[in-house]
Structure formats: C-alpha cells, structure tokens
Amino acid sequence: MVEINLQNAEFFAFHGFYAEEQLLGSRFLVDITVNFKPNGNLNEDEIDNTVNYEQLYNIACDEMKNTRKLIETVGQAIADNIKKTFPFVERTRVAIKKMDPPLKGKVGHSSVVIVYGDK
C-alpha cells in the first residue's frame, strides 16, 4: 500500500454560510491523504503508476474556486473528484481548515474531515 500526502495547501476562498463570509473571504488550509495499491511497478519510475500530487493540488485548487456555503460540500467535491481521477485509490481523506473563522472569540481554525474507504 502506498500513501501520498499533500499538507497545508493554502487557498484564499469565499466559502461560508453567511453573505459576509462570501464577500470578504478567508484563508483555508487543505490536507489530502490517499492510499492505494500502485497502478503498476513503482520501479519503472513512471508517474502513471502512482497518484500525482500535482493533480491532487489542482483538484483542490479547482474546487476551492467554487464558492459554497459549507466546507463539507467543498471537501466532498474534492474527494469525489479524486476518486473519479484515480479510481484505483482505496482510501481518501480530505481535511479543510478555515483559518480565523469569524466567531465572537479567538479561534485558530474550524475544520471538516471527509474520509472515503477503509482503515
């Protein structure tokens, strides 16, 4: 089993339930972990035998551009797109952190985690 991780990919996006959040935007950090059996022999040194983490970043980037009310919806879209792009992936974990959420007190971040597959 192989695990590929993309950690703390940073985006400025306009997700939020309230109109003000969608107007002002926020900083988000995205973590993606995928587990899979290689698509081929890793000794061949070919990108097609693994999950290209540049593509994982591009999937996250594309979904972060689509403003949504819930970060759960964004996380679900990222996970769905990963499964569509890499059908051999057995487990996907997507975590999205909304930095400094607009609450009455100081909060470092709020977050959501979407997990597909076993483990």
User: Which of 18 and 4 is assigned the larger pLDDT?
Assistant: 4
Give me the pLDDT at residue 4, please.
96
Cα–Cα distance measured from residue 24 to residue 8, given in angstroms and rounded to the nearest whole number: 21
Burial label, 63 (beta-carbon count in 10 A; 0-12, 13-18, 19+): buried
Closest CA to 61 of 111, 115, 118, 13: 13
Cα–Cα distance measured from residue 42 to residue 44, given in angstroms and rounded to the nearest whole number: 5
pLDDT tens for 16-66 read 898 888 899 999 999 999 999 988 888 888 888 899 999 999 999 999 999
Q: Which residue range(s) make up the domain with 35? A: 2-117
pLDDT tens for 63-85 read 999 999 999 999 999 999 999 99
Q: What is the CATH number of the domain that holds 95?
A: 3.30.1130.10
Number of domains in the chain: 1
> H helices of the chain, where?
19-24, 53-64, 71-85
Give me the pLDDT at residue 119, please.
55
pTM for the predicted model, two decimal places? 0.92
Across the beta sheet with 89-99, the strand order is: 2-13, 26-36, 89-99, 109-117
